[in-house]
Amino acid sequence: MTEKHQLDDTFGYQQVSNVEREQRIRDVFNKVAPRYDLMNDVMSFGIHRLWKHRFTQRVKPQKGQTVVDLAGGTGDIALKLAGSGHNTLLIDPSLAMMRAGNAPQATNLRCIASTGENLALQDNSVDVLTIAFGIRNMTRMETALTEIVRVLKPGGRYWCLEFSHPHWLIKPFYDFHSFYIIPRLGAWISRQPTAYTYLVESIRRFPNQQELCHIMEQAGLEQVSYHNLSFGIACIHSGVKPLKG
């Protein structure tokens, strides 16, 4: 029997199969790909670039390591991480998203089309795996985390940058911006209001900081921690694959 999951009401369904949901999410990103980076700048007033800079500064790949940026989209994180002395891969299921950025032209970066729930990588082959604003779009987040743990080497580290639950003092203003401003900006700039309604809903339904730590631990990661950005609007989570199973 096909496993069922709740789907955001944006799509007009109460329940769909994982395959259907994966296709619908992929369709969302294929539609917004040409103006995705522009929309990120407009929606966050450019703050997402500061978050990503803070994120990559924490990751700091070492010489000789294999680094994977999962759900890397247009490649902005992967390009920041790519450098001489280590092997960097950008993985995303959407060819349209990868082609919309500069990653395919980079000589020090390899692009692979693959889903997070079924990574085209060998066991224990990755030193560092990052994902920025992508884990909430996995069809089955727990399955994706299990895959991440599988491909990490013992002692390898997982880094996640994602929208989270902001401090209660700013939450009313954040909610107003998310539910009323962002969909209208999406309709105006990208001409894809439904896509941006989905993106807002996916943020609203995402686990809070402590819940995500628990989910990561359940997947097999240890030394799990988080660091809030902009009063919790975004958050950096990290965890390490145990040296021994």
**Cα distance between residue 207 and residue 23, in whole Å:** 23
- Within a domain: 95: yes
Instruction: Please report whether residue 174 resides in a domain.
Output: no
In a domain? residue 182: no
CATH code: domain of residue 119: 3.40.50.150
Q: Is residue 51 part of a domain?
A: yes
pLDDT at site 226: 98
Per the domain annotation, does 122 fall within a domain? yes
What is the extent of the structural domain holding 217?
Answer: 4-167+200-240
Quick check: is 195 in a domain?
Answer: no
Closest C-alpha to 66, from 83, 46, 51, 47: 83
CB-based contacts of 227: which residues, under 8 Å, 6+ apart?
Answer: 58, 235, 236
Return per-residue pLDDT of the chain as tens, 245 residues.
Answer: 333 323 233 333 234 455 665 666 666 666 666 666 777 777 788 899 999 999 999 998 999 999 999 999 989 999 999 976 789 999 999 888 888 888 777 878 999 999 999 999 999 999 999 999 999 989 899 999 999 999 999 999 999 999 999 999 999 998 888 887 877 776 677 666 666 677 778 888 999 999 999 999 999 999 999 999 999 999 999 999 999 86
184 to 5, 87, 131, 189, 190: CA distances (angstroms): 28, 40, 27, 9, 10
- Rg (C-alpha) for the chain, rounded Å, is 17
User: What is the spatial distance between Cα 232 and Cα 174, in angstroms, rounded to a whole number?
Assistant: 11
Q: How many domains does one find in the chain?
A: 1
Q: Is residue 184 part of a domain?
A: no
